[in-house]
Amino acid sequence: MKKQILIIGNWKMNPATSKEAIGLARGYTTISIPKHIEIVSAVPFPYLESIKSVYRSSKIKLALQNIYPSDAGAHTGEITFSMVAHLKPAYVLVGHSERRAMGESDDFLAQKVGYALKKNVVPVLCVGERTRDDSGQFLSVIKEQLQKGLALVSKAQISKVVIAYEPVWAIGKDATREATHEECREMMVFIKKVISDITGNSKQLPRIIYGGSVDDKNALDFINLGKADGLLPGRLSLDIKKITKLITILASYATSQKSKN
Ligand code: PGA
């Protein structure tokens, strides 16, 4: 296995209180994390500071759930990197479907991706279709989100971005159904093709992860058969027992892959 498996837990607007958030973060520090797995918590802004201190002697990294692509200015309610730079966030989610649903356009998301790279924070560009159709129109939705979202990134820098494929119909408690590992694999191939068409380079590709109703039962299939480089679990990331189980399963898979190489 070349790369580490990347697991970004998207806590969304949870837990409800700082005390619970600290409790959850403490739970994460009890998980034994092998070196071939990278664990990241995308936590609400107000909890970043205290969770950073809970994670201070652990390998777990922090992600921002959002960022405003400008250093300062009249942007009520927004947050920029200099405000959180001392907490050294490693990643920032860009274009999660819940933010796209609030009206964030592809052009605005492209600014965030470019801005994050400039600030040395890895952008995780989330793409995903709202529905699927038999004629494969959903593929052009993904292609457009990728082309527009990466429009301000130089060809040489595209491999630094992480792409999260998250079909909207598979996200959250109202999901229509879970995605299959075949659907995941097909999308991993498609996204690689779109990106290599942009860069003209099929060797240096970004990491592509999968999100949408990931749990301890389907996680290994998305990695092993679905060929995702990692996962972006939402609800599961709030359940310390299940996330521990997921990491244990992936750890033994990664070890078995390593011994094959
Ligand atoms: P879910 O959320 O795992 O609860 O479906 C995933 C996401 O929205 O990132």
- Provide Rg for the chain, Cα atoms: 17
- Which residues of the chain have a pLDDT value below 70? 1-2, 261
| Structure confidence at residue 261 (pLDDT) | 64
DSSP letter for each residue of 155-186: GGGGGGSEEEE--GGGSSTT-SSPPPHHHHHH
Phi, psi of 132 (to 5 degrees): -110, 150
Q: What is the pLDDT of residue 108?
A: 98
| Local structure of 152: helix, strand or coil | coil
Does the annotation mark 166 as catalytic? yes
pLDDT at res. 2: 59
Ligand 1 interacting residues, C-beta cut-off 6 A: 10, 166, 171-172, 211-214, 232-236
pLDDT of res. 257: 84
In 3-state terms the chain splits into helix, strand, coil percentages (rounded to 5) of: 45, 15, 40
In this prediction, residue 255 carries a pLDDT of 85
* Closest ligand 1 atom to Cα of 232: 9
pLDDT value of position 128: 98
Annotated catalytic residue, options 38, 98, 129, 166: 166
Q: Is the CB of residue 244 less than 8 Å from the CB of residue 24?
A: no
Q: Is pTM, for the whole model, over 0.75?
A: yes
Residue among 66, 217, 235 whose CB has most ligand 1 atoms within 8 A, to mutate:
235
User: Three-class SS string for 213-234?
Assistant: CCCCCCHHHHHHCCCCCEECCC
State residue 247's pLDDT score.
96
What are the distances in angstroms from CA 165 to CA 145, 208, 244?
A: 11, 7, 23
> Are 175 and 213 a contacting pair, CB within 8 Å?
yes
Residue 110 CB neighbour total at 10 angstroms:
21
* Candidate from 130, 209, 216, 232 with most ligand 1 atoms within 8 A of CB, to mutate: 232
Separation of CA 103 and ligand 1 centre (Å): 19
75 is catalytic: no
Query: Of all atoms in ligand 1, which is nearest to the CA of residue 233?
Result: 3
CA 217–ligand 1 middle distance (angstroms): 15
